[in-house]
Structure 1
Amino acid sequence: MDREEADRLLARLGAEHEAIETCLLSLQDHAGRGLLEGAELTGVTKERWARAEEAVSLLWTCFDVYTAALESARELRGGSRRPSPDDLAELTRGLRGPAVTVPTEDGSVERIGLAELVDRMNTWYARVLDVVAAAESVWSALPARIDMLSAELQRVRSLAHSVGVRPGEHPAGDELERTTEELTSLRAEVVADPLAFWIPAGGSSAPGGGRPDTERYDRAARALDDIRREIEAVLQVRQDAEQRLMRVRDVLSRADRTLAEARTARGEVLARIAAVDVPAVSGPPTALYEQVAAAAEHRRHARWHRLSPLLESLEERAEEELERARAALTAVTAPLAVRAELRGRLDAYRTRLARQGLADDPLTAERYDIARRLLWSAPCDLRAAEQAVLRYRQAALEAMASATRSVDGTPGGGTPGCGAAGEGSAR
């Protein structure tokens, strides 16, 4: 090298020396390193930190060698404006050649140049910083969040105990116990082996690039949210259990009254309607009333976790029971409804005849009397009564048509209100 080249190289190596010294001092004071040195490590963190500590020792040893070589080169260069060729030759060998002997990671020694030594120290520094920064990131992120979640878990546990949600008695109590154990185990593992919870950034990245793995924490947080919702539902049951039980009893009472009405109606139908099949009416739902009594007992003894699912089932089944009672009443009163319809149709046809002055027509009067006797007799034969009403209707329509022809003087024709439309309006 000539003088200018030597000075430029000395300046660059001097700048490298300052940068490396700054990094080593920063590493020495790094909070993550202090935590690693004082922790009882396990797993992957223990293994990587052991290698990192060896790299730190090598870094300082090589930095001392680098410092001595740089100072020697500066002394050789001195301040002369015209260094001798021998000095330049020695500077070239010292700055560019394999001029220093340094230890290696496998415990041996080798002779390398200063530029290669700088690259090697940079590699070791990046490796150590990656371990230190990753561990600090995990320790900064997860334990505090776990502690906050554990505090929330204790609050939920207190609520759970207040409503009787305990392990072995309610699924939410079992899940609460499992979540507690998971958070305790997770915190211990994070503190002892933080690098097991580190996800490095993909591709090339600076030392410490990546993020903490929060999957287990997130899963525990979701589980606690589910437990909290379950406890809040039980708390809600405690607040409105009395009103809900009263509503269930009211619905069942309405169902009983409807069934009683259906049984009474069935007796009336059997007495008044002949030759029809009337379905039987069941009695009150004894098992359902027993469950209502059990629900009241749970409420009296503050067993809210048992009352909650039972109330939901009772509310649904009580509504079903009321619908069943209404259906039974409709089924048994169907023949009475048919008789009432036939009576209405018979009277409607008679009213139409009376408006036209045809109520005294012998045929229609005879058929009306037959149909009326059948419909107002007990027991009533519905099939015969329906046929009688149809015959009366036919006679009434013929009488009205005949009267219309007599007025018009035409052999045929119709009158408004007769035929299908007239029948529909009469119905």
Structure 2
Amino acid sequence: MEPLTLIEIDLELARRAAEADSIVATLLELDKHQGLTLVRNYPPSGVTEARWLPVRDALALMWEDLGRMRAILDSARAVRGTRAKLDDGQRARLTELLRGRPHELSRTPIPLVERSLTGPSEHVLFVGLADTLERMRATFPMIAEFLDAVDKVNSRVMTGLAPLQDQLDRAGAATPRLRSIGDGIAELLSRSATDPLALTTAEIDARLAELADALRRESATLAELAAMKANWPAAVAAARARLDAVQATRDRAARAKAEVERTIVSSPLPVSPNDIGPLRAQLDAIADNPDAAPALLDLGGRIDAATSAAAAAEDLAQGLLDRRGELRGRLAAYQAKAARLGVGEDRDVIAAHRIADGLLARTPCDLAAVTRAVADYQQLIAEKAGRRP
């Protein structure tokens, strides 16, 4: 290799030093990249892990290559010094440092079977500034592309979830649905942190839209919580009134149930649970704490369930009692109809009426038997009158 002139040496040294400084600045900027911060803080998995492993090795090699470049440049600066003139040996050495391959990179033993009798026992790999820089330039785009892709996905998720998380933070985990939305947000955050490259843009947008829709559907709940906090005494009083109403319904249901069991043949009616006392105790425990609005809302849901159960029990028992009255009214109406049609004194009609009336008078009354008897009475009237039922 023809030795460089002093001017060429100084120009080459300045150019390589500027390149090294630029690489340092780029690698330091890369070290602060949000994508790199993410994979360092959250060990990657899945698709992201598979892509990260070669990038991690390439990034480590970049720093090693930078160290080699700086070592070569330091050696060149030491040889160059500040002298105004250089002898041929110094110029040859500087030419080798700046243009050749002066740095030993690795030594690899050669298996005995592959050696010649007088050949070397190992392969020695040397590198220089040019090929080191070329390798770094070829490697950098892969690293930057990976980190940008990771950051792009994570930023998209974080930007989309931020307003949703803010709404949840203000509301608290007040309802099962809100807690479920919170779990959904946490799950998406976890995926974007550990395996962002497995998420597609369409999947992210669809999941964000799903969570946003769910949160919008809970807006009424959030408004109700705010209203509770704003007028806490009234909210507590309303809950007490609802518990009183449930108790009143339970009392009516119990009386109707007792009457059914005394007067009507039926399968066992459900027994009302003894939950009003515990519900009152829970209400008393939070009555002086407006910050317990979520607990009051949850309690309200259980009061709703108790109200529905009490109403159903009352409807069932009262329905059986009302059915007996309905059958009695229908029998009287059919009797009047028989008289109007001129068959009221027919012996068969009288007998059918007597059967139905007798079944109605029994205690307990078999409603199924009465229903059949009234239907038979109606049919008989129609037949006697020469009409279809």
Query: What interval of TM-score do these two structures reach, taking the shorter chain for normalisation?
Result: 0.3 to 0.5
TM-score by length of 2: 0.48
Report which of the two structures shows the higher radius of gyration computed on alpha carbons: 1
